[in-house]
Amino acid sequence: MIGCDANEACPYEWFHLDCVGLKAAPKTNVKWYCKECKKRLGIPDKKSNATG
């Protein structure tokens, strides 16, 4: 499981790694935000940069 770093502001807070496309949890010093909180906070989704 991984927790969204938006904490209480996240409507879901906890996610299964497989459900969010992760094979392993990020290092403890890396902030992780769910897709919904990234959108709300204006953080670009790295996967959305694909062309085509």
For residue 18, the domain's CATH number is 3.30.40.10
Mean of the pLDDT values across residues 41-50? 74
pTM: 0.77
Return phi, psi of residue 20, to 5°: -110, 15
Residue 17 belongs to domain spanning: 2-49
Q: What is the largest CA-CA distance in the chain?
A: 36
Strands (E), 1-52: 2-3, 14-15
Cβ atoms of 5 and 31 within 8 Å: the answer is: yes
Across the range 22-28, mean pLDDT stands at: 93
Q: What's the whole-number mean pLDDT along residues 29-43?
A: 95
Per the structure, the count of domains in the chain is 1
Q: Do 34 and 6 form a contact (C-beta atoms < 8 A)?
A: yes
pLDDT given at position 7: 84
pLDDT at 52: 45
